[in-house]
Structure 1
Amino acid sequence: MGGDAWVAEAAALRRLADLDLRTLHTDLLAVHGPQGWWWPAQDRFEMMAGAVLVQNTRWQNVEMSLDRLRAADLLRPSLLRAVPEEDLRALIRPSGFMRAKAAALRALAAWTEEREAEVPGLSDGELRAELLALRGIGPETADVIGLYGYRRPAFIADAYARRLLTARGFAVPRSYEAARRALAPALAEAGLAVADLAELHGLIVEEGKRSQGARPAGGG
């Protein structure tokens, strides 16, 4: 493609700041139906553990790891942070990257015990910063935990979302964090309730699963 043609094509792409998230939600809801709260978990800590374990693997593997943690009665922060790390690695083996994920789970468990009582007083940005400071918690995982664990507004700009928006003619940055920043004006403009944002992520994943096959690995 010649230089002039490339410039013309790039100029034709729409800005993510102009995305109407309410319309996107309505469109996907009409196709896939209600998704509800969507993230599968029995309680908040299990949800957060799942968000760590799904990094770079598929949800089916996470389910096996969570079942093993549940059977060992380790889906409680006080007990998980006290278990020997070698034992924890063995339990979460189905999810892969056992060394890194065991360390991340222990850090998350310690933070939950020490800081969770303070979370209601934290702004959305402060909570995200604290999560990002934890070992093994990247931008996508922090936003997933904020949204599904603590009901803080976020648009999960994961691989499915970036592919969907690219297909709809938007100029989408390749990285999660750059896409999140580009989407911030659209998120503020939409004013969607947390429940709608949680459902929207589920709808985007469902759209991606139907068009591209099984759910891809989670991000960082």
Structure 2
Amino acid sequence: MHQNMGPSGWWPAESKEEIIVDAILIQNTNWQNADHARLLFKNQTDFKPSSILAMTNEERQNAVRPAGFFRNKSKAIYNIFSWLDKYNFDYSAIKSIFGTDLRHHLLQLHGVGEETADVLLTYVFEVPTFISDKYARTLFTLLGVQNLTDYRSLAKRYQLNNDFTIEMAKDFHGLIDEFGKVYFHPQTKFNKSFLAHDELILK
């Protein structure tokens, strides 16, 4: 994928705070809707933690609204930023404090499911993690892997090996999603892709 597509440049954001907001906004919607909401957040807060935490509940919900599920997503953004504020948004310190339990603690936060937790681990806390999102499951299925019904069905079967650096992990997820945007709408376009005749075998 890297040879054919080049580096993905993912996650396309100017700060980790922007990535956190993006990761919540993209849940259960498309990139167009999430991007509309992201621009509202950028215009109102420039993704500064103090500005996001200072927003009223109504202001947050209105900014989230284009991405759908605005009440839950607004609450999720507030709760995550409130939790990070306890540690002064020192991501390295948080990673050090929680160690291998960090994913578990992220999953305790409102609005953070397994996919969002893995996105935050990779792009915010610099922990190389395979993100088993819908694009990844679609790709692996098209490459011959069976019974990928939900996030865990792929995540429990495939994880990055120790050779993956954090930059490689970020790029891998980005490449899969960029590939999916081009070749999965509709899925028949996959047959014309450079991976069409490949097969993936998971041990």
TM-score category (smaller protein): 0.7 to 0.9
Match of 1:119, as an amino acid? Answer: I
Q: 1:136 to 1:159 in 2, by over 3 A?
A: same
Instruction: Describe the superposition over 1:51-73 as per-residue Cα deviations: whole angstroms up to 9, x where unpaired.
Output: 00000111222222122112212
Note the 1:64-143 alignment, pairs <5 A: 64-73=36-45, 75-115=47-87, 116-117=89-90, 118-122=93-97, 125-143=100-118
Measured on the aligned residues, the alpha-carbon RMSD in Å equals 1.8
**1:213, 1:75 → 2: CA distance?**
31
- Given the alignment of the two structures, is residue 180 of structure 1 paired with residue 155 of structure 2, yes or no? yes
How far residue 124 of structure 1 moved from its aligned partner, in angstroms, is: 5.2
- Given the alignment of the two structures, is residue 206 of structure 1 paired with residue 168 of structure 2, yes or no? no
Q: 1:112 to 1:182 in 2, by over 3 A?
A: same
How far residue 171 of structure 1 moved from its aligned partner, in angstroms, is: 3.0
How far residue 34 of structure 1 moved from its aligned partner, in angstroms, is: 1.8
**2:6, 2:99 → 1: CA distance?**
29
Instruction: Describe the superposition over 1:46-103 as per-residue Cα deviations: whole angstroms up to 9, x where unpaired.
Output: 1111000000111222222122112212622233223221121112211111100000
How far residue 192 of structure 1 moved from its aligned partner, in angstroms, is: 1.0
Greater relative contact order (Cα 8 A, min sep 6): structure 1 or 2?
1
- Given the alignment of the two structures, is residue 153 of structure 1 paired with residue 128 of structure 2, yes or no? yes
More helix as a share of residues: 1
Does the Cα contact within 8 Å between 2:95 and 2:102 map onto a contact in 1? Answer: no
- Given the alignment of the two structures, is residue 54 of structure 1 paired with residue 26 of structure 2, yes or no? yes
* Count of matched residue positions in the alignment of Structure 1 and Structure 2: 183
Does the Cα contact within 8 Å between 1:52 and 1:136 map onto a contact in 2? Answer: yes
* SS of structure 2 residue aligned to 1:183: coil
Name structure 1 gaps, 5 residues minimum: 1-27, 215-220
How far residue 113 of structure 1 moved from its aligned partner, in angstroms, is: 0.7
Name structure 2 gaps, 5 residues minimum: 187-203
Instruction: Describe the superposition over 1:161-215 as per-residue Cα deviations: whole angstroms up to 9, x where unpaired.
Output: 111111112234311123111113xx23x5211111111111111221121129x
Structure 2 length-normalised TM: 0.83
Percent identity, aligned pairs only?
Answer: 33
* SS of structure 1 residue aligned to 2:45: coil
How far residue 108 of structure 1 moved from its aligned partner, in angstroms, is: 0.9
* SS of structure 1 residue aligned to 2:128: coil
Structure 1 length-normalised TM: 0.77
Does the Cα contact within 8 Å between 1:156 and 1:201 map onto a contact in 2? Answer: yes
Does the Cα contact within 8 Å between 1:81 and 1:110 map onto a contact in 2? Answer: yes
